[in-house]
Structure formats: structure tokens, C-alpha cells
Amino acid sequence: MKTPELTYPRLRPSVAMAPVHQTVDGILCDFFMGNTRVNRRFVIQQDLFECLKLLDGTKNASDVVNSVVGGKGDCDFLHKKLKSLLHVLREKNIVEDVKMAEISEADPRRRVLSFLGDFFPDYRLVEVQGRLQSAVVIICGIGGVGSWVAHFLCRSGVGHLVLIDPDVVQPSNLNRSLFPNKFGEKKVAVLSELLRSIDPHVRVDVQDSKIQGPNDLEKVVEVVLGSSIPPRRIVVVNCADEPNVDFTNDIIGSVCMPRHIPHVVAGGYNLHLGLMGPTVIPFRGPCLECVSMSLKKVSPDGFEEVRKLDRPLRKLGSLGPMVGLVSAFAANEAIRTILNGDRLQPALNGQRMEYDFFTGNIKTTGFERQANCKWCGHHGIYK
Amino acid sequence: MKTPTCSPETFSPLLRDGVDVYFNQGDEVTFVYLATRKRLYVACEGFLQDSLAWLTGRSTLTELLARLPQSENQSAQKKFLSFIDYLFGRGIVVDKDWINDLPFPPDYLLRLERHMNFLLDLCGTPDGVVSVQESVCSCTVGLVGVGAVGGWLCAVLPMMGFGKFILIDPAVVGPSSLSRHAFHRTDLVGMPKVQAAEAFIKAVDLSADVRTHQVAVIPETDLSLILGDASIIINTADEPYIGHLNIVLGRFAFRKGIPFFAGGGFDAHLGCAGELLVKGKTPCADCYSAYFKQAVADWKPVTHPVHFRRNSFGGLPTLAAFSAFSAAIALLRYFIDGSITSDRTELYFQAYKQEHFKISKRENCKFCNHP
């Protein structure tokens, strides 16, 4: 793809430029990207530094050079140097073309686009937004976690959501789920109506039956694949924990792995510990079976040899903001997975994360692919 | 509140769901509190160990006593009663109807059943739960700024049982609220944000007491008129300038002797967890401001060539929500045991790493020393 002309360059408004100190070759300069708190450093020659201070988007490069040199110096040479520098700074998401920026700023999701502008150059943002709009996210379970995930993805610009849940809205859902108080109505119907009231353009498909085995999910996935959506534009998010997350992970993994469909385990919360991830990009990192094998090798509580009191049907507690927090990361992972490429990748590919209620700290545990994994190992059934 | 010793005929012992039980070799049983990972080791006879499987809440204590070995009835009964009483005192056993016995309205308990279970894991006893939730219930939250972060707080605070709010924001819902505000719907564009937020709160809790002020907090604002009866103030507004607002609101809160939460989630602090400031326990807003002024004293950005930049900062709804959820969790921690993490924490989106800034009270802080 040919890079569009940088006609009216401007320093991105969310980027701060700060000289650090003078070096032999020029000014060591920080470019602090406010959206992501990423700092990039360059040594900039003095005359170019003066040019950058004028990048307000109203002048082209020649005008900028003329303003700096004032007809006294070698305008052509400085112009060449500036164009070359602007090319580099544009690729590093520091400089943008004002015409491109105006397109983003006129969009109702301008905040999202500006944020993604920290990862993608200005001329790619329309395409990036298109990738979100054309992606399909299948959310298995829209209870505590799933309702939030759907909400976040809709607001972020994901264009097509598939909601799967058999339940109806109950008063006891309201301590952790984002449903209006339409008690007794199907959750999928209530949530799809809500999402359309947020964005009338979002496509929401629903299935109000339970996924009890791979066949149930396969049917949903095959319908999506049948509409010519490539597997890499589909993400399945597991927000279902009945009868338990291991069971639903098994189903999701067995459907997604052979079809090369990325999937995210939204997790949940094991009392105070909000669990998040992993994200699986099939065959580009550990799969859910690899993670499960790794977890079995670890014995964190030291009780492996001791009899445990069997207690079925436990009703564990939940806290609204913990559920929301887990969901926020699951939605982040779905977005990152849709946009997966050289500039942005899912952070939890092969990682699981825990949020500690008591400290607010996040702890990450990494996992490796297992050579003897029965799914993706050397002799794995999905290899 | 029912107890094993006072009401054995009606007390139906339930081994709390938030506790795991392991039978070690010999006479020892280990109870693991899942919420805190604390362990309690208890030496007890075999029949007492066996009796743990009975604690499902299906039988009253009197009925369970009848199951004990008849031959050593008297002594076994005494030991069993004492054992249950001990476990009750340690927050391992509760009555099966403990939630319904809590002193809150039935619809409140129905909505907050799972929340109460969560609190029980943290507080250990139903009395502890009551104490925390009564504080939550009676708290009037003064929320300044009902935008990206404040909107998500309007979602989660009612979910936690907060029911009294003062909402302050001058703005109206706009088309670009779509990607940021929890309460945004297309049909609400043009409505004052405080009104949209009020409706959002009442969708969770119809009986919530919500007062709204569609005004900006400016230097001339008489805070006592709009926030006079707030029990806590949360600032999530960033206009006209968040540093100034935090100082104004923080000073007001300290003078009133109420907690102040400075929310994160704006501009370069999208994933900031914010900080809870409490007079006598933490540095004040002035201390924070001075700390960060000093921290960036040597970092001097040039005047940005683009003058109007207000609409150009980015963010994902998930990051604003992260700031809001962190604030809500910090408040609950404080309500549970008064604990405060006065560090400022920033979340980096790239790898979800956190950076912590340790901020201390400044010896020469003019406000701390002369509030």
C-alpha cells in the first residue's frame, strides 16, 4: 500500500515534545505519547527541532521550512531533511496529516481512533476501524462478565456481536451485570436491544440456548464462517462458567483450534483474585490444553496429597467492579486480537493475569506450548 | 442475629462457601479462607471431622446433635456444640439464612445476595458484613464529573449497594459520548449528563436518592451548597484543570473530615487507579500536586503547536472503566478495614504492567499543617 502524502503535517495533539539536553548531533528530544504513556526519544538537529515546533497542521513542509529559515538558508536541503524526518515520525505515530486527523476527529468514536493512533499511523486508522467493524465476536455467556464485554466491544466499534446465553434477567444479576431491570426476559434479547440503542449500526445475533457440547458452538461458528468472514476476524470469548470454566474451555478450544479461530478466556474471579486470560491464537502460543497441562504440574496450595471435603453447589460471592474489571481486560484482548499484527498484539497470548482485591496489583503468569499437548503438540489432534 | 449457642433449634449450620476444608493426617483439619488465603489448623476428633460434611444448612443444630453417637451422648454433644461455636466465631460456619437475617430491605438483599457473599468472605462474619454494608448504605457519594470515569462509577456503585448520590456535571450527552460514557444511548444525546446518569443509577436501584447539579465546579463555586452533606467526594472531572479541582475539592473534604477520592482516567492517566485521601491517614491533595510538580520539574515540553487539543486525546472505554472500578474497589477496601493504598498506580496498556508512585506527606505542606 502506497503511503498517502503528508501534506499538512502536525504534531499529534496527544504527543508532547520535550527537549532533554543538547548533544553533539542535535537535541535529544522526548516525544511522550499521552494516550499510552510511551516515550520515544530522538536526536533532532536544531533546525529540524525548530520546524517541529511549527507543525500545527496549517502549513505544508515548505512553508514550515520557510518560516524557520526566513529565506536566509538552504531551504531545499532543510526541506529534504524535514520530509525524511516527518516520514520517520509519522511511522512512529508522532506526526499526522491534518486531513487524515480531521476524518478521525469527526467520528463519534474519535477517542478510540486517537488511542489507536498511538499504535497505527494516521493513514491506517480508517482501515483499522474497518477491521473492528467487520470483525465478529462470539460471546459465550452474557452474565456477569459477558454483558460487560459486549458493552465495551460495542462502544469500541466492533461491528458484529453474537450473544449466546439461555438465561433470563433476574434481580440478583444486578449486582454485577449490565442489564436493565427487565426481569424474566431473555438476557440475549435485553442486551441486544440495549446494544442497538448505543449504536444502531451494530449487528447483534443471538442464541438463547445453552452450549452443552462442541456441536452447539460449531453451529454458531459455521454460520459466521459461511458468511465469508475469515477465521482471523472472528474471536470467541468464553464468559461461561457453568458447570465450570474447564468444561466450557474444552468446548471452545475444541471448536476453535481446528478452525484456527482465536479465543479469549475472560476468566472470572476466584474470590478476591480476578482471573483474566489466557488469549489463544491457535498454534502461535500455548492453547488452553497446554495451559491446563502446565497448571496441573503446579501445586500452589500444597494440598495435593490431602483429602479435601467435597462440597458441590457452592454459591461464591461476586463484586460488581471486580467483574467489570475482568471484563475490561477480556474486551481489550478481543480488540487486540482482532487487530493482531506487527503493531498491536494480544497481551495475554500465553499469559494469565490476576488482579488482587486487597492491593490492586496485577500479577501475570506465563505459559509455554507443550510438545506433548494432545491438541497442538507434535502429535496433537488439531496439528 | 442467630447464634449456635442461643438458638440451636433454629440455627442451621452452613459451612461457608468461601472456605475450603482439608483433612490432614492425624487429627488435624486445615481450613483455608479463599478470600485471604489465610489458613487455620484445628486439631479435632474423628467424629467432629466427619460432622463437617453435615454442615450443609439442611438441618438445625438440634437435629444434628441427635445424629451424634448415643453411647457417649453427653460428652459428644458438648464437644460438637463447642466445635460449632468455635467455627462460628472464626467465620467458618454461618446460619443458612444469614443473608435473609441481615437488617436490610428484602429487595436490597435479593439484588445484593452475591455481593453479601463476597463481603462475608472478606469480613468473616455476618456482623462484619452488616457493619460494612451499613456504612455503604448510609454513605452519600458526591460525584464531581459524570463523564468517562464518573459514568462507570454510576454503574458499579449502585451494584455495590450505594444508594445516595449527588451528581455534578455541566455537560450534556454528545454523539462522541458513545465510546466513553456508560450511560450513553443515541436517544439521550442532548440530555444533561447528570440526568442520564441518574436514570442509569435508578435502572439498578429504583429507590436510589439522587440529587443532580448541572454546573461546573469553578473557583467561585460554594461547595458547601452542593456537597455540604456528602459523606465522601469523588472527583472524576478534568475541567477546567484537574490538578486545581483536586486541590479545591480535596481541601473542602479534609476540612469537612470526609474522604476524598481523586480519580484517574484522563489524558495521560487513562489507566490510573486514582487515590483515596483521608485526613490524618494520607497525604493531602496539595501534597500530591506538589509531588508531581517536583517529579516533572526538569521535564519541560515545548508549547504544543496545536492550540486546541481538547478533543484530540484518546482512550478506550475499558481504560476509563478500569479507573472507575479501581476507585470503587479502593472505596470498599476502606469501608472494610480502613485500609488505603496511598500509592498512585498507572496501568500501561501495552503489557498491562503497573507503575507505582510512592507519595508521602510533605513536611512543609501548608495545607496539611494548617487545614
**DSSP conformation letters of B166-235:** EEE---B--GGGGGT-TT--GGGTTSBHHHHHHHHHHHH-TT-EEEEE-----TT--HHHHHTT-SEEEE
Half-sphere CA count of B225, side-chain side, radius 13 A: 6
Question: Is A171 a member of any domain?
Answer: yes
Whether A271 and B321 lie within 8 Å, measured CB to CB: no
Interface residue B304 vs chain A (CB under 8 A): yes
Residues A84 and A170 occupy one common structural domain: no
A307 within domain boundaries: no
CA distances from B350 to A36, A139, A154, B77, B263 (A): 8, 24, 22, 60, 21
The CATH number given to whatever domain includes residue A231 is 3.40.50.720
| A354: closest chain B residue by CA | B352
- Output the pLDDT for position B17: 87
Question: Which of B34, B325, B331, B342 best tests the A interface by mutation, with the highest count of A CBs <10 A?
Answer: B325
Please judge whether A315 and B117 are an interchain contact, meaning their C-beta atoms are less than 8 angstroms apart. Answer: yes
Q: Which residue has the cell 444479576?
A: A173
Give the pLDDT confidence score for residue A72 in this predicted structure.
75
The end-to-end CA distance of chain A, in Å, is 33
Amino acid present at B90: R
Domain boundary among A54, A85, A106: A106
Long-range Cβ contact pairs of B103-107 (< 8 A, separation 24 or more):
B103/B130, B103/B134, B104/B133, B104/B137, B107/A171
B18 with A317: Cβ contact below 8 A: yes
**Is it the case that residue A69 has pLDDT exceeding 60?**
yes
Residue in B with minimal Cα distance to A317: B118
Judgement on whether residues A80 and A140 belong to the same structural domain of the protein: no
Q: Could you tell me if A322 and A253 lie in one domain?
A: yes
CB pairs under 8 A between A and B: 279
| B52: nearest Cα among B14, B81, B91, B10 | B14
pLDDT tens by residue, B117-161: 999 988 988 999 999 999 999 999 999 999 999 999 999 999 999
Confirm whether A155 is domain-assigned: yes
Q: Give one DSSP letter per residue of B55-90, joined into a string.
A: -BSSS-HHHHHTTS-STTHHHHHHHHHHHHHHHHHT
pLDDT in tens, B280-339: 999 999 999 999 889 889 899 999 999 988 878 899 999 999 999 999 999 999 999 999
Q: Give A 106-145 residues with CB within 8 A of chain B.
A: 108-118
Instruction: Answer for the pair A331, A142: CB distance below 8 angstroms, yes or no.
Output: no
Whether chain A has a CB inside 8 Å of the CB on B315: the answer is: yes
What pLDDT score was predicted for residue B93? Answer: 95
Residues A199 and A284 in one domain: yes
Burial (CB count <10 Å: 0-12, 13-18, 19+), residue A296: exposed
The C-alpha atoms of residue B173 and residue B12 are separated, in whole angstroms, by 52
Of chain B, the percentage scoring pLDDT greater than 70 comes to: 98
What is the DSSP code (8-state) at residue B140?
E
Same domain membership, residue A173 and residue A291: yes
Is B20 an 8 Å CB contact of chain A?
A: yes
d(CA B133, CA B332): 9
User: Is residue A124 in some structural domain?
Assistant: no
Domain boundary among A106, A126, A153: A106
CB contact residues (below 8 A), chain B span 328-357, against chain A: 328-330, 332-333, 339, 341, 345-354
Given a cut of 90, is residue A312 above it in pLDDT?
A: no
Is residue B220 within 8 Å of B244, Cβ to Cβ? no
What tens digit of pLDDT does each residue of A107-129 get? Answer: 999 999 999 999 999 999 999 99
| Host H or E run for residue A160 | strand A160-164
**Is A142 in contact with A163 (CB distance < 8 Å)?**
yes
- Inform me whether the pLDDT recorded for B6 exceeds 60: yes
Condensed to tens digits (0 to 9), the pLDDT of residues A223-252 reads: 999 988 999 999 999 999 888 888 999 999
Cβ <8 Å between B32 and A18: no
Q: How close, in Å, is residue B38 to chain A by CA atoms?
A: 11
Q: Assign A380 a pLDDT band (cuts: 50, 70, 90).
A: very high
- Asked if residue A176 is part of any domain, the answer here is yes
A183 in B contact zone (CB under 8 Å): no
Q: Could you report the predicted ipTM of this complex, rounded to two decimals?
A: 0.95
Any A CB within 8 A of B207 CB? no
Q: What pLDDT, in 10s, does the model give residues A338-350?
A: 999 999 999 999 9
pLDDT at A1 over 80: no
Mean pLDDT score, A62-70: 92
For residue A219, tell me if it sits in a domain: yes
pLDDT at position B71: 62
| Pairing of β B232-235 and β B260-262 | parallel
Q: Which DSSP string corresponds to A186-254?
A: BHHHHHHHHHHHH-TT-EEEEE-S---SHHHHHHHHHHHHHTT--GGGEEEEE---SS-HHHHHHHHHH
Share of chain A above pLDDT 70, in %: 97
For residues A346 and A201, membership in a common domain is answered with: yes
Q: Is the pLDDT of residue B210 over 60?
A: yes
Query: CA torsion sign, B91 to B94 to B97 to B101?
Result: negative
* A145 and A99 housed in the same domain: no
Find the domain containing A292 and state its range: 135-298+315-366
Quote the crossing angle between the two packed helices B148-159 and A320-338, to the nearest 10°: 130
Which of A155, A303, A361 faces B354 most closely, judged by CB atoms?
A361
Nearest-CA neighbor of B65 among B126, B21, B1, B4?
Answer: B4
Q: Which residue of B has its CA nearest to A322?
A: B325
Lowest mean pLDDT among A286-290, A298-302, B209-213, B216-220: A298-302
Say if A377 falls within a structural domain. Answer: no
- Domain identity same for A36 and A141: no
- Distance of residue B261 Cα from the nearest chain A Cα, in angstroms: 15
What is residue B327's predicted lDDT score, i.e. its pLDDT? 96
Verify that A34 and A144 share a domain, yes or no: no
Q: Is B178 on the interface with A (CB under 8 A)?
A: yes
State the pLDDT at residue A305: 66
Contacts of A118 in chain B (CB under 8 A): 314
Q: Shortest Cα distance from B225 to chain A (angstroms)? A: 31
Residues 6+ positions from B105 with CB-CB distance below 8 Å? none
* Mean pLDDT of the region B195-209: 96
Sheet containing A136-140, strands listed edge to edge, beginning at the edge strand earlier in sequence: A203-207, A160-164, A136-140, A234-238, A263-265, A279-280
Can you tell me whether residue B137 is helix, strand or coil? helix
Residue-range domains of chain B with CATH: 13-95 (3.90.930), 139-298+306-369 (3.40.50.720)
Burial class (CB in 10 A: 0-12, 13-18, 19+), A343: middle
pLDDT digits (tens, 9 = 90+) for A149-203: 999 999 999 999 999 999 999 999 999 999 988 999 999 999 999 999 999 999 9
Contact A46, A24 (CB under 8 A): no
User: CATH number for the domain including A29?
Assistant: 3.90.930
Instruction: Say if residue A282 is in the same domain as residue A167.
Output: yes
Say what the pTM is.
0.95
Residue A299 confidence (pLDDT) above 60: no
Q: What is the pLDDT of residue B72?
A: 58
pLDDT tens track for B36-80? 778 899 999 999 999 999 999 999 999 999 888 766 557 888 899
Q: What is the pLDDT of residue A180?
A: 87
Looking at every residue in chain B, the average pLDDT score rounds to 92
The count of structural domains within chain A is 2
Contact by Cβ (8 Å): A149, A327? yes
Residue A301: pLDDT band (50, 70, 90) is: low
Query: Is the peptide bond prior to B240 cis by the omega test (within 30 degrees of 0)?
Result: yes
Which region among A298-307, B32-41, B241-250 has the lowest average model confidence (pLDDT)?
A298-307
Q: What is the DSSP letter of A112?
A: H
Task: Mention every residue, 6+ apart, whose C-beta is less than 8 A from residue B304.
Answer: A11, A13, A16, A17
Query: Is A244's Cβ below 8 Å from some Cβ in B?
Result: no
Residue A374 lies in a domain: no
Structure confidence at residue A307 (pLDDT)? 82
Q: Do both A163 and A79 map to the same domain?
A: no
Check whether residue A53 and residue A155 sit in a common domain.
no
Cis link prior to A278 (omega < 30° from 0)?
yes
Per-window interface: B 77-96 vs A, CB < 8 A: none
Residue B88's pLDDT band (cuts 50, 70, 90): very high
